């Protein structure tokens, strides 16, 4: 991946805008309004090669420019990030509920990535995988750009064993363990992922840990909202889930009912040292 021509600033990298072609000032003003026009005139927009864009710059369709975005107003997430492990290559955290992994949509500064870059002074920090904003637990970051691909590949190839703990209703008639296997599709613009007919692309082992509704979930694939969809499909929606089986409107500043889903453990062979790594969340005790 090509390095951005502007450095990370205050924990956040520059935004990349792919152009339709023509006068850059005119296009950015039309697409993003007066603030984007002001950034061009102030010399705050650059091309992929680092050239400063001005009011005479014309670029072809498909070219990209970079600029620092104006941060939206965000509700602070009132929970600390617990660092489980840090060395020269990786940082492993115990992510709290309600904190997104990385900037997306209305969550920018209030994300694990931006907060950690600021707190640890690691501008090249990058997530090797993601957890849903509402899911808590073990999350791994790489500290340097050249390491990112090696760790991300582990997750992409399914070479990381991930174990989750979930709380849901007790179902004495349900025979466990069982494997849930089906096809999950998440479409842009839709809050919920759905199960559709077709070749299965999602698989989860579901085991009972107690008769009062505590479950261990071992995903063998990594589809969006997979564990939440699979538990809801069994008639056992995870406690505190505002999406499955039904969408519930929750205020942005309401942190009173966290999703009872915890990424409890990850295990893998480190691609740099070759050693076996295991990281376990500290949030389980007293959480469920």
pLDDT of 283 reads 87
pLDDT of 87 reads 97
What distance in Å separates the CA atoms of residue 111 and residue 70, rounded to the nearest whole number? 16
Q: Given the DSSP bridges, would you call strands 136-142 and 261-269 parallel, antiparallel or unpaired?
A: parallel
Diameter of the chain by CA atoms? 71
Could you tell me which of 259, 222, 220, 264 has the C-alpha nearest to residue 243? 259
- What is the rounded average pLDDT for all residues in the chain? 94
Could you tell me which of 244, 240, 242, 243 has the C-alpha nearest to residue 259? 240
The pTM score is 0.90
Domain 82-287: CATH superfamily, name plus number: Pseudouridine synthase (3.30.2350.10)
Which of 54, 132, 249, 253 is catalytic? The answer is: 132
pLDDT digits (tens, 9 = 90+) for 222-276: 999 999 999 999 999 999 999 999 999 999 999 999 999 999 999 999 999 999 9
Residue 54 is among the residues annotated as catalytic for this protein: no
Residue ranges of the chain with per-residue pLDDT less than 70: 1-2, 285-288
pLDDT of 20 reads 97
């Amino acid at each position: 991946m090509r390095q951005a021509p502007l450095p990370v600033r205050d924990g956040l990298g520059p935004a990349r805008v792919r152009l339709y072609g023509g006068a850059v000032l005119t296009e950015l003003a039309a697409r993003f309004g007066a603030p984007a026009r002001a950034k061009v005139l102030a010399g705050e927009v650059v091309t992929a090669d680092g050239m400063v864009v001005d009011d005479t710059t014309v670029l072809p369709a498909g070219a990209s420019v970079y600029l620092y975005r104006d941060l939206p107003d965000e509700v602070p997430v009132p929970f600390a990030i617990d660092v489980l492990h840090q060395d020269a290559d990786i940082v492993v955290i115990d992510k709290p509920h309600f904190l997104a992994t990385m900037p997306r949509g209305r969550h920018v500064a209030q994300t694990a990535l931006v907060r950690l870059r600021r707190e640890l002074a690691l501008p090249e920090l990058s997530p090797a995988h993601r957890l849903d904003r509402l899911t808590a637990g073990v999350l791994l970051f790489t500290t340097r750009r050249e390491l990112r691909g090696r760790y991300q590949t582990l997750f992409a190839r399914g070479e990381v064993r991930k174990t989750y703990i979930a709380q849901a209703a007790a179902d004495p008639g349900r025979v466990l363990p069982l494997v849930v296997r089906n096809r999950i599709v998440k479409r842009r613009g839709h809050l919920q992922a759905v199960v559709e007919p077709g070749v299965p692309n999602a698989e989860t082992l579901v085991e009972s840990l107690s008769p009062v509704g505590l479950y261990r979930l071992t995903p063998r694939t990594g589809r969006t909202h997979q564990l939440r969809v699979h538990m809801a499909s069994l008639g056992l929606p995870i406690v505190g889930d505002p999406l499955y089986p039904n969408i519930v409107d929750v205020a942005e500043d309401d942190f009173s009912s966290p999703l009872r889903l915890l990424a409890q453990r990850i295990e893998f062979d480190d691609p740099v040292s070759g050693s076996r790594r295991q990281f376990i969340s500290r949030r389980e005790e007293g959480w469920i």
